[in-house]
Amino acid sequence: MAEETSKRKRTLTRLFEHESEPKVRPRADLDVTAVIFQYEDGKSTRFSLADIFPGGLPKPCVARAAAAFGVNTSAGNAGNTLDSDAPDDIRDAVEGRLELFSAGKWSQERQGGGPRTSILLEAIVEYRKGHGLPVGDSDLQKYRDRFDDKDAVKAWMADPDFAKIYYQIQAQKRIQSAEKKGGHAADLLT
């Protein structure tokens, strides 16, 4: 008998827009035009499939439905596999994946175990606040744009003050995740 491995609440709803009907629906058909991600806080992100077809959106076809399925699955998984249920964290993960698609990439190149971008951003905010520097979206965008720059991330992590903030946030997230799972080390000793 299979055990239920996750009791997470639903934090992300995915819907599709179509040419044939103005109403969004939960399934993609051949004439799908966009994928919509709705978050628990009522906000949403719309991703137009025209953004990923170089020559523009093709006539209704299997490729459009398959593209919608891939975008839906990959970006949805990016949001739903986080340790956090916070809508802002989920939205950041989903929109980060959608930015990759818009840039013509399917996934980020993995360099093995580098710092997580969601934690990097939080650490940058805390570091800048601690040093009396602005933390508005425009101020932070220049750092987001450098997340793929291994040398920049390596330099940030080499700063002891920044690294301390990063690892504190990471530890806090891991503790929160463990608390949500409800496990106890004492259970391992019996």
**Single-letter amino acid, residue 179:** E
**Of 1-5, 90-94, 129-133, minimum mean pLDDT range:** 1-5
Average of per-residue pLDDT values in the chain = 83
Long-range contacts of 65-74, Cβ-Cβ distance < 8 Å, separation of 24 or more: 65/28, 65/29, 65/30, 65/32, 68/16, 68/28, 68/32, 68/35, 69/28, 71/35, 71/47, 71/98, 71/101, 72/14, 72/16, 72/28, 72/35, 74/101, 74/106, 74/107
Q: Sheet harboring 32-39: ordered strands across?
A: 21-25, 12-18, 32-39, 44-48
Q: Give percent helix, percent strand, percent coil of the chain, each to the nearest 5.
A: 50, 15, 35
How does pLDDT run across 72-130, given as a tens digit for each residue? 999 988 888 877 788 888 888 898 889 888 888 876 654 445 567 778 888 888 998 99
The token pair at 45 is 């992100």
Burial tier of 5 (Cβ tally within 10 Å: 0-12, 13-18, 19+): exposed
For residue 29, name the pLDDT band (cuts at 50, 70, 90): very high
CB 91 within 8 A of CB 79: yes
**pLDDT for residue 108:** 63
For residue 18, name the pLDDT band (cuts at 50, 70, 90): very high
Instruction: Report whether pLDDT(7) > 60.
Output: no
CB 117 within 8 A of CB 140: no
Q: Give the residue from 188, 184, 117 showing the smallest Cα distance to 125.
A: 117
Query: pTM of the predicted model, to two decimals?
Result: 0.56
